[in-house]
């Protein structure tokens, strides 16, 4: 039996898609290595491989490399075994891995920013293979016929040509790798920008102009721009650095250009450069107030002094140029947006490039805070007939304010006030206003105005003057009738007067004004707490104020209160003040204080003043067991000669018959008794007084034309009768109201001598009951010279005749 030796295997290489030439294969290509045994195909062989630069663990006849790289290069051989018998190693077959060439793409021109309309060329560079015959492929291929040459040229690029560009080359059946992608972005056509370091050429100086292309390259040398300058639309000079100095005025512009042929940017904006003249304007504010309020009218003026040149004006406000205008910049309704710095300059109308310098800036401050005047009144509590001073204050009070003064009239339907202008209260220059003879509770407001047209503030908050006078048309009563109350007391405040609608108002200690919200008809019912302390008064639906009262609520539940009347006490009347506890315990050993001075220690717990005088007015408080009550003011109302100051006007006529005036009137009476024409005149007046067609006497009942009052003067009785008569005849002025006094004399002394009066009119001051400050003057005219005779025991006919003296009424203050 002959035993044959195993055959020698053969190794072959085969690419998956390209034939291998001389064992060469490109990197990343798939290759299969086969081990073939001739004549032993049907046998069961196990294979072993060696080759390359790594260990091979393949046992089949085929070894596949899916993506070859440098480590797979080298010689490959194999052998096989079966039944523990190995073949020889095959001859080595070499595998050479070829690394493909990577091209490079370049761009001409080599600017980093390309603009729409420029020409660009892409070039594919294959290093070390320049002489080989290559076919090129470009990505992206945007043309219908993709370029295959080394250069890819775009004549006029557009923004749609932006993207990433790369290339590769092919020779025979092999390709180079794709080049790295070069980014390419096409920008819209740029516009040159022109800047000037100043807008006017100073005398003997220059202005620097700078031109740039935006967006521009970070490196000006690589951008390739040249700059072309123009003055008044004519070519000026081309430079490369984009900066020039000019010494003459004009309209300047520029643009950039680069490439061949030249690619131009858009034109820059025009920059107007002026030539400065020596005049310098001045800006003024009118009115020149330190602060302007929203809504006011303000005028900013530009004044240029020197020469007769006519100017156009240009304004700058808050660094923003305003269009040329007149020399006034008027703000009709200012707001905070108008605040800022204002300046101006002038431009010659005859030479528009000749201008002044900018003026210095003037600062305008406009406040959005609306000014509100603050009104103060003094005194706040009235003595009837006293003068009240109103003061109105606004921020910056010296800055042109005029003042308006109003009386607050209650408006119950609107739960507010209407305002009625006070006499002579329209636009006063003084910020104070005096009201004479105020007797009743009243409210006042003010406001201020200034400027032309006039700007008005809001009205001030109303301020009040309070009167405790119970003789006003409306009054307020308190039940229980005392100033001080304990916490949780039930207190009723009732409005009285000939009115149907009421509201009760309170002015609290903290300055707040509020309404009573528990009104039943004309009565306000409260359950007292500390917050109820304040001043209370009534307001009627007809706009009347009542007397005012103080209410004090004791917050100390264990402390005493002083029981004192809420209204003024009439002089001469008696009053009892007492000290009380909430427990209603009868107190003893109570201390009473008047104006903080101890005046009585009373074991009965009360202070009795039998006849009150003005000196008793003041603050009172009591002290019990170491605890003090609050103090309350007790007001004393003074009377005149035991009667009210508002008594009959007849008493006020006494001034007519005092001193020398009495003697003169007696002499006139004796003289006129002898003149028959005066008796006729008396009868004429009396007949007219009772004639149906006669004029009505002003304020006097025709049926009661005489009112008599007996007055003791020594041993004589003097009777006066006062009536008002209009007489349109006998030479009297039919438009003049005249008051006549009829004086009758009885029981004169027999031996009294009378002297002639001097040839002059005598005036006697008479106070009327209507207003304490009103004056009435009685003019007594001297009759013709003559002797007055009277027989003892006989009554002369002329003695019973009526004697009339003319009385002129003075005007009332404030009317």
- What pLDDT is recorded for position 702? 32
- What pLDDT is recorded for position 4? 60
- What pLDDT is recorded for position 323? 66
767-772-776-777 Cα dihedral, nearest 10 degrees: 70
What average pLDDT score do residues 427-450 get?
A: 93
CA 371 from centroid of its chain's CA atoms: 8
- Whether pLDDT at 419 is above 80: yes
Q: Tally Cβ neighbours within 10 Å of residue 192.
A: 24
- What pLDDT is recorded for position 124? 92
Three-state helix/strand/coil letters over 312-337: EEEEEECCEEEEEECCEEEECCCCHH
HSE toward the beta carbon, residue 238, CA cutoff 13 A: 10
d(CA 300, CA 344): 10
Task: Give the model's confidence band at 614: pLDDT under 50 very low, under 70 low, under 90 confident, else very high.
Answer: very high
Nearest to 749 by CA among 631, 640, 637, 670: 670
Angle at 185 between CA 183 and CA 190, to 5 degrees: 150
Phi and psi at residue 426, to the nearest 5°: -100, 110
Helix (H, G, I), strand (E, B) or coil at 681: helix
Strands 200-201 and 271-276: parallel
The set of long-range contacts for 788-796, using a CB threshold of 8 Å and a minimum separation of 24, is 788/667, 788/670, 788/671, 788/673, 788/674, 788/754, 789/670, 789/674, 790/670, 790/748, 792/750, 793/750, 796/673, 796/674
d(CA 399, CA 457): 13
Strands 31-36 and 10-15: antiparallel
Helix (H) / strand (E) containing 624: strand 618-624
What average pLDDT score do residues 659-666 get?
A: 60
Report which DSSP code applies to 426.
S
d(CA 400, CA 402): 7
Instruction: Note the pLDDT tens digit of each residue in 672-726.
Output: 554 443 333 333 333 333 333 333 333 333 333 333 333 333 333 333 333 333 3
HSE toward the beta carbon, residue 496, CA cutoff 13 A: 12
743 token code pair: 């004086």
Note whether 263 and 257 are within 8 A (CB).
yes
- What pLDDT is recorded for position 302? 92
- Whether pLDDT at 809 is above 60: no
| Distant-in-sequence, close-in-space partners of 31: CB < 8 Å, separation ≥ 6 | 13, 14, 15, 16, 20, 25, 64, 65, 68, 72, 95
Instruction: Note the pLDDT tens digit of each residue in 196-217.
Output: 998 888 877 899 999 998 765 4
d(CA 593, CA 602): 11
Task: Give the model's confidence band at 17: pLDDT under 50 very low, under 70 low, under 90 confident, else very high.
Answer: low
What average pLDDT score do residues 348-369 get?
A: 87
* pLDDT, greater one: 421 or 647: 421
d(CA 571, CA 809): 32
CA distances from 545 to 520, 542, 548, 632, 734 (A): 19, 9, 9, 23, 40
Residue that is written with structure tokens 């000196």 in the block: 615
Scored b (16 or more CB within 10 A) or e, 157-168 reads beeebeeebbbb
- Whether pLDDT at 115 is above 60: yes
- What pLDDT is recorded for position 204? 77
d(CA 30, CA 640): 137
432 token code pair: 């104070």
Instruction: Note the pLDDT tens digit of each residue in 138-172.
Output: 988 776 667 888 898 888 888 888 888 999 888 77
- What pLDDT is recorded for position 506? 94
Helix (H, G, I), strand (E, B) or coil at 800: helix
d(CA 341, CA 321): 12
Task: Give the model's confidence band at 194: pLDDT under 50 very low, under 70 low, under 90 confident, else very high.
Answer: very high
Q: Tally Cβ neighbours within 10 Å of residue 599.
A: 14
d(CA 493, CA 694): 51
Nearest to 447 by CA among 467, 469, 466, 425: 425
HSE toward the beta carbon, residue 364, CA cutoff 13 A: 32
Q: Tally Cβ neighbours within 10 Å of residue 553.
A: 21
- What pLDDT is recorded for position 657? 40
- What pLDDT is recorded for position 126? 86
* pLDDT, greater one: 71 or 19: 71
Identity of the highest mean pLDDT range in 194-198, 736-740, 743-747, 809-813:
194-198
d(CA 71, CA 155): 47
Task: Give the model's confidence band at 55: pLDDT under 50 very low, under 70 low, under 90 confident, else very high.
Answer: confident
Task: Give the model's confidence band at 275: pLDDT under 50 very low, under 70 low, under 90 confident, else very high.
Answer: confident
On average, the pLDDT of the chain sits at: 77
Strands 114-115 and 186-187: parallel
- What pLDDT is recorded for position 688? 34
What average pLDDT score do residues 117-126 get?
A: 89
What average pLDDT score do residues 406-421 get?
A: 89
Helix (H) / strand (E) containing 222: helix 220-223
Strands 545-554 and 484-486: parallel
- Whether pLDDT at 432 is above 90: yes
Helix (H) / strand (E) containing 515: strand 513-515
d(CA 330, CA 323): 14
d(CA 376, CA 462): 9
| Distant-in-sequence, close-in-space partners of 434: CB < 8 Å, separation ≥ 6 | 387, 388, 389, 390
Phi-psi region of 610 (alpha: psi -120 to 50; beta: other; left: phi over 0): alpha
* pLDDT, greater one: 453 or 220: 453
How do the residues of the chain divide into helix, strand and coil, expressed in percent and rounded to 5? Answer: 5, 45, 50
d(CA 667, CA 479): 61
Helix (H) / strand (E) containing 125: strand 120-125
Note whether 465 and 472 are within 8 A (CB).
no
390-396-400-401 Cα dihedral, nearest 10 degrees: -30
Which segments of 599-703 does DSSP mark as H helices, in order? 659-672, 676-690
d(CA 213, CA 354): 30
Identity of the highest mean pLDDT range in 21-25, 59-63, 585-589:
59-63
d(CA 484, CA 552): 5
- Return the CA Rg of the chain: 60
d(CA 577, CA 605): 9
- Whether pLDDT at 553 is above 60: yes
Instruction: Note the pLDDT tens digit of each residue in 442-477.
Output: 999 999 999 989 999 999 999 999 988 777 788 999
Note whether 411 and 540 are within 8 A (CB).
no
Q: Tally Cβ neighbours within 10 Å of residue 528.
A: 19
Instruction: Note the pLDDT tens digit of each residue in 512-537.
Output: 999 998 899 999 999 999 999 999 99
* pLDDT, greater one: 397 or 410: 410
Angle at 725 between CA 720 and CA 730, to 5 degrees: 115
């Amino acid at each position: 039996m002959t035993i044959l030796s195993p055959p020698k295997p053969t190794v072959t290489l085969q690419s998956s898609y390209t034939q291998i030439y001389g064992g060469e294969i490109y990197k990343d290509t798939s290759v299969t290595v086969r081990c073939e045994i001739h004549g032993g195909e049907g046998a069961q062989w196990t294979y072993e491989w060696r080759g390359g630069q790594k260990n091979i663990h393949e046992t089949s006849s085929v070894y596949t490399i899916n993506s070859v790289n440098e480590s797979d290069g080298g010689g490959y051989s194999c052998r096989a075994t079966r039944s523990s018998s190995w073949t020889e190693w095959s001859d080595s077959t070499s595998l050479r891995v070829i690394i493909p060439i990577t091209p490079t793409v370049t761009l001409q021109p080599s600017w980093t920013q390309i603009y729409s309309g420029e020409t660009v060329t892409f070039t594919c560079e294959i290093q070390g293979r320049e002489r080989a015959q290559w076919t090129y492929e470009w990505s992206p291929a945007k043309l219908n016929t993709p370029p295959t040459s080394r250069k890819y040229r775009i004549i006029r690029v557009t923004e749609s040509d932006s993207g990433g560009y790369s290339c590769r080359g092919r020779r025979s059946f092999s390709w180079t790798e794709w080049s790295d992608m070069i980014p390419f972005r096409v920008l819209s056509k740029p516009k040159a920008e022109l800047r000037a370091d100043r807008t006017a050429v100073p005398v003997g100086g220059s202005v620097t102009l700078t031109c740039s292309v935006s967006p521009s390259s970070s490196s000006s040398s690589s951008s390739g721009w040249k700059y072309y300058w123009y003055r008044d639309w004519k070519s000026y000079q081309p430079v490369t650095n984009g900066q020039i100095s000019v010494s003459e005025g004009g309209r300047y512009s520029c643009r950039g250009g680069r490439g061949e042929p030249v690619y131009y940017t858009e034109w820059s904006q025009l920059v107007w450069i002026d030539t400065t003249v020596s005049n310098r304007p001045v800006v003024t504010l009118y009115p020149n107030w330190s602060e302007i309020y929203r809504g006011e009218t303000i005028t900013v003026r530009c004044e240029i002094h020197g020469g007769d040149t006519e100017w156009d004006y240009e304004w700058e406000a808050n660094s923003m140029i305003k269009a040329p205008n007149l020399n006034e910049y008027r703000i009709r309704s200012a707001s905070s947006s108008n605040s800022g710095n204002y300046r101006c300059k002038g431009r010659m109308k005859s030479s528009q490039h000749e201008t002044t310098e900018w003026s210095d800036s003037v600062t305008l401050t406009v406040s959005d805070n609306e000014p509100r005047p603050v009104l103060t009144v003094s005194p706040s509590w009235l003595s009837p007939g006293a003068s009240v001073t109103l003061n109105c204050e606004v921020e910056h009070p010296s800055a042109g304010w005029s003042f308006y003064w109003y009386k607050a009239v209650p408006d119950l339907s609107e739960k507010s006030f209407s305002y009625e202008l006070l006499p002579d209260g329209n636009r006063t220059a003084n910020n104070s206003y005096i009201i004479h003879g105020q007797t009743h509770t009243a409210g006042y407001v003010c406001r201020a105005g200034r400027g032309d047209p006039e700007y008005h503030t809001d009205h001030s908050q109303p301020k009040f003057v309070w009167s405790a006078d119970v003789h006003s048309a409306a009054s307020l009563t308190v039940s229980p009738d005392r100033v001080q109350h304990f916490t949780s007391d039930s207190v009723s405040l009732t409005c009285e007067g000939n009115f149907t609608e009421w509201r009760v108002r309170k002015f609290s200690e903290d300055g707040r004004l509020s309404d009573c919200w528990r009104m039943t008809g004309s009565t306000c019912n409260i359950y007292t707490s500390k917050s109820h302390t304040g001043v209370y008064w009534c307001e009627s639906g007809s706009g009347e104020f009542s007397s005012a009262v103080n209410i004090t609520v004791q917050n100390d539940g264990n402390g005493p209160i002083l029981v004192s009347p809420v209204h003024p006490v009439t002089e001469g009347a008696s009053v009892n003040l007492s000290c009380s506890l909430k427990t209603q315990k009868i107190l003893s050993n109570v201390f009473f204080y008047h104006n903080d001075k101890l005046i009585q220690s009373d074991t009965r717990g009360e202070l009795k003043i039998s006849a009150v005088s003005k000196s008793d007015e003041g603050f009172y408080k009591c002290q019990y067991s170491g605890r003090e009550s609050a103090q309350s003011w007790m007001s004393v109302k003074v009377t005149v000669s035991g009667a009210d100051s508002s008594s009959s006007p007849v008493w006020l006529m006494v001034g007519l018959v005092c001193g020398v005036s009495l003697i003169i009137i007696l002499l006139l009476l004796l003289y006129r008794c002898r003149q028959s024409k005066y008796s006729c005149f008396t009868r004429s007046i009396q007949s007219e007084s009772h004639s149906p067609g006669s004029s009505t006497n002003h304020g006097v009942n025709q049926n009661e034309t005489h009112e008599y009052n007996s007055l003791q003067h020594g041993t004589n009785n003097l009777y006066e009768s006062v009536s008002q008569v209009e007489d349109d005849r006998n030479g009297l002025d039919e438009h003049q109201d005249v008051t006549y006094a009829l004086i009758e004399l009885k029981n004169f002394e027999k031996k009294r001598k009378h002297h002639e009066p001097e040839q002059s009119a005598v005036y006697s001051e008479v106070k009327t009951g209507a207003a304490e400050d009103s004056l009435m003057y009685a003019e007594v005219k001297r009759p013709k010279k003559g002797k007055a005779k009277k027989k003892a025991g006989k009554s002369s006919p002329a003695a019973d005749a009526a004697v009339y003296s003319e009385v002129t009424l003075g005007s009332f203050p404030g009317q």
